[in-house]
Amino acid sequence: MSAATTVQLTDDRIPLRSHLRHTGALVRRNLLWIRQDPESMADALLMPVIFTLLFVYVFGGSIGQALGGGQDQYVQYVIPGMIAMMSMTLSQGVGTGFSQDFNSGVMDRFRSLPIGRGSVLFAKIAVEVVRMLFATAVLMIVAVLVGFDITSWGGLLAAVGLATVFASSIMWVFLTLGVIMKNAQSVQAMGFLVLFPLQFGSSIFTPTASMPGWLQTFTDYNPLSTLADAARGLMVGGPVAHDLWVTLGWSAAITAVMAPVAIHKFRTKT
Q: Out of 37-46, 79-88, 135-144, 219-228, pick the least confident.
A: 37-46
Which carries the bigger pLDDT value, residue 14 or residue 226?
226
Average the pLDDT over each of 80-84, 137-141, 204-208 and give the range with the smallest value: 204-208
Tell me the backbone φ, ψ of residue 264, rounded to 5 degrees: -65, -45
- Percent of residues, the chain, with pLDDT higher than 90: 34
- At residue 68, does pLDDT exceed 80? no
Query: Which residues are CB-contacts of 158 (< 8 A; sequence separation ≥ 6)?
Result: 234
User: What is the mean pLDDT of the segment spanning 64-81?
Assistant: 86
Q: What is the separation of C-alpha 220 from the centre of its chain, rounded to a whole number of angstroms?
A: 20
Report the domain count for the chain: 1
Q: What's residue 161's pLDDT?
A: 96
Looking at per-residue pLDDT, the higher value among 92 and 235 belongs to 235
Q: How far is CA 132 from CA 53, 254, 260, in A?
A: 19, 19, 23
Q: Are 170 and 247 in contact (CB under 8 A)?
A: no
Reply yes or no on whether the pLDDT at 111 is more than 80: no
State how far the Cα of 206 lies from the Cα of 235, in Å rounded to an integer: 17
pLDDT of residue 3 exceeding 70: no
How far is the CA of 161 from the CAs of 60, 167, 246, in angstroms?
A: 27, 10, 15
Looking at residue 224, its pLDDT comes to 93
Angle CA(244)–CA(193)–CA(85) in degrees, nearest 5?
A: 35
CA distance to 106, 196, 233, 251, 253, per residue, from 229 (Å): 40, 18, 6, 15, 19
Task: State the residue range of the domain holding 114.
Answer: 3-204+212-269
pLDDT in tens, 159-169: 999 999 999 99
pLDDT at 19 over 80: no
Q: What is the mean pLDDT of residues 179-198?
A: 85
More confident residue, 103 or 241: 241
Residue scoring higher pLDDT (208 or 3): 208
- Range with the lowest mean pLDDT among 130-144, 173-187, 236-250, 252-266? 173-187
Alpha-carbon distance 175 to 177, whole Å?
Answer: 5
Q: What are the backbone angles phi and psi of residue 90, rounded to the nearest 5°?
A: -70, -20
Residues 31 and 223: their CA atoms lie apart, in Å, by 30
Q: pTM for the complete prediction?
A: 0.86
Those residues with Cβ within 8 angstroms of residue 55's Cβ, 6 or more apart along the chain or in another chain? 74, 78, 82, 205
